[in-house]
Structure 1
Amino acid sequence: MASSTSTSVEVRSQTFHTEFEAICRGIQGSILPNIIAPWSDDDGTATDSCVLGPSIDGGMPERLVAHLKNNLVDLSAYDGGDFQDWNVVRPQQQWPTVTPDWEKWLPRMEHFFGQQWKDQGIYHLIKLFDRPLVMDRSLLAAALCFWSSATNTMNFRFGMMTPTMLDMAALFGLSPLGVEVNAALIAPEVEGSFKATWPTLARVAGSKAKNMLNYSSFYSNFGVEDSAEDDAINPLGEVEHAAFLLYWLCKFVFCTQANKVTLEFTHLDDYLAQGGRLALGPFLLGHIYRTLHDIITDGMKPKHGGPLWAFQFWLQAYFPELRAAVNISDTEPLANAFARAPRKHNTSALCYKFFYGLAQRTGTQFRPFPPVPN
């Protein structure tokens, strides 16, 4: 039998959906099909910026604005959530952490492949993790109260917001263009391919093979130590670059649930190791959505793996009131600047009150990214 809370949520959801559909049918003729449309400032002044459509001619209809404002704040996640796990030292065990192994491996691999990473559009996302990332648990816990796993949006009084592929580009430098990451992606098993090499290594290691995937053991097996005495850089290991990228994808980007290297990303790391350019933006965005869904549907427990760190950067971009001042440079994505900024210590109650009281946002506030220089 469904609980009274879930039944109430279902009833409210159906009522909202019925009225929302009726409004959408009534405004079909006002929807402009243009994919790219000019953007004007709040006072109507034309700018050099554009927005992605479709859009609504004349702006949001009053009936739709009123319906969204009156219904979008859903407290079901807050009412059914258990927040005690957010008070432990590491709420998400898989949160990306810098280790001595990584501090040695990153500059070594950058020496050999820094330019290749830049050509592939992954350089800044790799360098994002050259310093510790501090989890803002107050910001995340409060924001998750407003996340709807049904629509993959944050639902505020003024309307819906969600991370987009353009945000992935602006925050992390990840282009939506490139080879699509899906089950059909296969990298040629050439020399230096981790996927081709691993079965042989696993057979030799026998029952100890699974221990080789622990992060510390993985580095010991595949990382090459440079000489600390004469600053000599040793030659590359047989599959060292591919192994480095797999380590980076698992530990820092996707923060695997197992909290160790997993083989599900071997097709990605081999493709990247061979110089391929992947559309990692949509792939990361999908993992963000899945992570937030897992946390919300499991009673707000932060134990689930996934790129929760990326959601934190998105929140800091669109809600600067809840972060410290940032020195932004046009030579790097915004997240790299956020990573260097000091933390602003807000309480969970303050963050929740801020989100709950958001009755409106101006057009300028929806453009947090600096313009791209000509």
Structure 2
Amino acid sequence: PGILRVEQAMSSSWVEAGIFEFIQLAKFDLHLFDPQMLLSAIFFWNRETCAFEFPCGFVCPTLLDIAAITGLAPIGDRFHPDAVEEEISIKEDKKTYLAFINAHVGQPGTLVSESEHIAFLMYWLSACVFCTPSLQVPKYYYVLAHALHLKKKICLSKLLLASLYTWLDEASESLFRESGPRNLSGPLWLLQLWLNAILERKLSLTSSFTPTCELEGARLTTLTPRKRSVNNFSKYVNAILNFNQFSKDLAPFIRTSLIGPPWLRRRNQVWNMTPDSVEMWFGFLSWDVIMSGMR
């Protein structure tokens, strides 16, 4: 109910900020994981190259993968965590996520206030995007939530990719500690959906459910294996070891049947590209130093 109330009032703002499709993804079960699939992939992560070391070479999620899964564009303003234009009162002393939401949600029939919208975005960033280990909504998401509230086109895709790489580094390192792996946090959902995409054909992952959301991420949420078995870990490792050559499975979003925003599905011919398309693909192909600034 909370997301629908805010969406009705703020959907146009979300479109302008470039996050409308991504927020729709929160309506699906992003927190359904296959722990053995995640663990099998983490064993192949190389912290020095920030990539999975498969038999065919180095492979990793990219901005193109994030665009297909979430609808986030690879372009936008760089996020500056210390840039706050004005303070809007947010009740940050609430001990749980539910208490935080209840403290800011407006009454039915009333307008969505600035503080309610920012509080919603803080909750979304914390619980659905970066998946913080904190038991309450951290204060440090306020600046980013406030920028999105002001409809600033922050390049959220690069923040998300950097956060995923940071989490993979921590997860990989924890596997080799004497104390063993600890509870991990971060955008596990993104790794799960990416693995669903590259292993879809090898593992014959199928689903009869057809999501109404026009995003690859929504479809991929339905492919996460739900049946747990002690043999799954070895099955997933063997599937990865079978990537002896780079195949189209490792580039799952380069296809004509892609589901996603129009700018991503557009057939671009080098001799007939619009300036907007050139800018978008320049964002995919140009190098950059990315830091999450998130925890």
Structure 1 length as normaliser, TM-score?
0.61
The equivalent residue for 1:324 is: 205
Equivalent pair of 2:25/2:213 in contact (CA under 8 Å): no
Gaps of 5+ in 2: 257-264, 268-295
Equivalent pair of 2:88/2:115 in contact (CA under 8 Å): no
| Pair 1:342–1:251, CA change in 2 (3 A) | closer
The equivalent residue for 2:282 is: none
The equivalent residue for 1:131 is: 28
Give SS of 1:176's match: coil
| Pair 1:341–1:159, CA change in 2 (3 A) | closer
The equivalent residue for 1:98 is: none
C-alpha displacement at 1:342, in angstroms? 6.5
The equivalent residue for 1:217 is: 99
Match runs of 1:203-352 below 5 Å: 209=93, 212-226=94-108, 233-299=109-175, 301=181, 303-320=183-200, 321-322=202-203, 324-325=205-206, 332-341=214-223, 343=225, 345=227, 347-352=232-237
C-alpha displacement at 1:348, in angstroms? 1.4
**Greater Rg by CA:** 1
C-alpha displacement at 1:131, in angstroms? 2.8
Give SS of 1:322's match: coil
Cα offsets for 1:100-142 (capped at 9, x unmatched): xxxx211111101112212322112211121323111121111
The equivalent residue for 1:169 is: 67
The equivalent residue for 1:357 is: 242
- 1:145 maps to 2:29: no
| Pair 1:161–1:128, CA change in 2 (3 A) | same
Give SS of 2:147's match: helix
Counterpart CA distance in 1 for 2:63 and 2:190 is 12
| Pair 1:323–1:273, CA change in 2 (3 A) | farther
| Pair 1:368–1:357, CA change in 2 (3 A) | closer
- 1:122 maps to 2:19: yes
Structure 2 length as normaliser, TM-score?
0.76
Aligned-pair identity in percent equals 25
C-alpha displacement at 1:341, in angstroms? 4.4
Match runs of 1:89-108 below 5 Å: 104-108=1-5
The equivalent residue for 1:113 is: 10
Counterpart CA distance in 2 for 1:298 and 1:367 is 29
Counterpart CA distance in 2 for 1:111 and 1:331 is 16
C-alpha displacement at 1:329, in angstroms? 8.8
Equivalent pair of 2:2/2:105 in contact (CA under 8 Å): yes
The equivalent residue for 1:368 is: 252
Counterpart CA distance in 2 for 1:145 and 1:250 is 26
Equivalent pair of 2:192/2:224 in contact (CA under 8 Å): no
Counterpart CA distance in 1 for 2:212 and 2:98 is 36
The one-letter amino acid of 2:199's match is F
Identify the match of residue 54 of structure 2 among 153, 156, 160. 156
Equivalent pair of 1:213/1:262 in contact (CA under 8 Å): no
**Paired positions, count:** 248
Equivalent pair of 1:156/1:356 in contact (CA under 8 Å): yes
C-alpha displacement at 1:271, in angstroms? 0.6
| Pair 1:114–1:302, CA change in 2 (3 A) | farther
Moved over 4 A (4+): 326-331
Gaps of 5+ in 1: 1-103, 190-194, 203-208, 227-232
Q: CA-atom RMSD, angstroms?
A: 2.4
